[in-house]
Structure formats: C-alpha cells, structure tokens
Amino acid sequence: MSRKITNGPLRNKARTELKLIDALGEILSLKGFTGLNVKTVAEKAQLDRRLIYEYFGGLEGLIKAYLDRKDYWKTPAAQVEQMIAQSKMDNGKEVLHQILERQYTSLLENDEMRKIIHWGLSEDMQPLKELNKERELFGEAFFTQITDHRFKKKNIRAITAILISGIYYLTLYPEMNGPHFCGIDITSKRGQKQIRQSLHKIIEWAYQEPL
C-alpha cells in the first residue's frame, strides 16, 4: 500500500498555486478587477511574482485557473442531463424559475460572483470570454432540448435574456448608486422578495401565452 504524500515538490506546487489563486480572489473581492496585476497578487500571497509566470504563464493564466475553480455557474454534465429530463414534464418552466432565482440569490450573497460579472462586462480577456462561452453552451442545451419545441417561434430566449440581464444589473447597481431602484429598496428583504415574486410572475406569463 502506497503512503500518502504529505509533502514534496508536487504538493508544494499545488499549495503555492492555491495560495496565488486565493490571493487573486481576495484582491478581486476587496478592490475589484482594476486592482489586479502580477505585483499585487504576488504581494498579497507573499510569494515571488516569478512563480505566477512559472506556474500559470502569467496573469491571464492565473485568472483562468481562478475562474475554473471559482465559476459558480458551472454545472456538471450529469446534473444538466437530469435537469433536462425533469424539465420535459412542464417544458422547463420550473427549472427556469429555479435557475433564475438561484442566480439572483447567489449574486446577492456572493461578492466574488458580482465582481466576476462586472469584470466580464468591463475587460476584454480570453479567460472571461471562455467563461461566457461555457454559460452560453449550458443555455443552448436548455433551449434546444426543452423550450424551443414548446415555444417554437415565441421569444422565450429573449424573455430569459431580459430577466438574466435584469438580475445582473439589480445586483450590481447598489454598490455604486445606492439602494433604491424604481422606488424599491433592492437591498432590503422586502424589495428582494418583490423581485423574486416578479421573476416568478413573468415566467408564468410567458408560459401562459397561447401558442
């Protein structure tokens, strides 16, 4: 029986990589993407900046590793298949509602998630483009296998796009502009409940529309 390796070059490398990834996440959460560069990450991790180039090929490679580890939107293939199978009973209505409500709640509760969204809207970087492509692939599987058949030429894709973009904006807005939007305190429990209820109503309306 082989003895578990508790130290050595491979384990030390993995620890160093994790330390750099965590340092990037801390800077992103505290200062946003504008505070990210090789120097600040190395200083935060208390490591030589050359290790970023050695292990990740540079800042962009480190960002990719961070996103691979921290992408809260990734869904395992088996789970996607299960969701699609369950969705066929009601043409995806309940799953669509669950996905959007979970996304809204997660963005409210997780500062790193909000920073990733803001980052993706503001920076032209390949890792961020790849992340968006993965999300699009998940959405395309849902639409083509579930809702396109139900709605045919109806605009369920456009409705979903408006809802998702609204979720993004409403969760990013308060940090820079304050809590009120359309007279609703979107940082309060009451206001957030109104948003959730309205998400549900819009999906219900979309599915009630005559074919």
Residues 88 and 94 sit within 8 Å (Cβ to Cβ): no
CA-CA distance, 10 to 160, in Å (whole number)?
45
Residues 27 and 35 sit within 8 Å (Cβ to Cβ): yes
CATH class of this structure's domain 9-70: mainly alpha
* 137: its two tokens: 């692939």
- pLDDT(79) > 80: no
- pLDDT(120) > 60: yes
pLDDT of residue 88: 73
Query: Would you give the end-to-end CA distance of the chain in angstroms?
Result: 64
CA-CA distance, 67 to 6, in Å (whole number)?
27
CB atoms inside a 10 Å sphere around CB 58: 10
Among 152-161, 167-176, 199-208, the least confident range:
152-161
pLDDT of residue 1: 40
The model's pLDDT over 35-56, given as tens digits with 9 standing for 90+, comes to 889 999 999 999 999 999 999 9
* Residue 75: strand, helix, or coil: coil
Where do the structural domains in the chain lie, given as residue ranges?
9-70, 77-208
pLDDT confidence band for 3 (50 / 70 / 90): very low
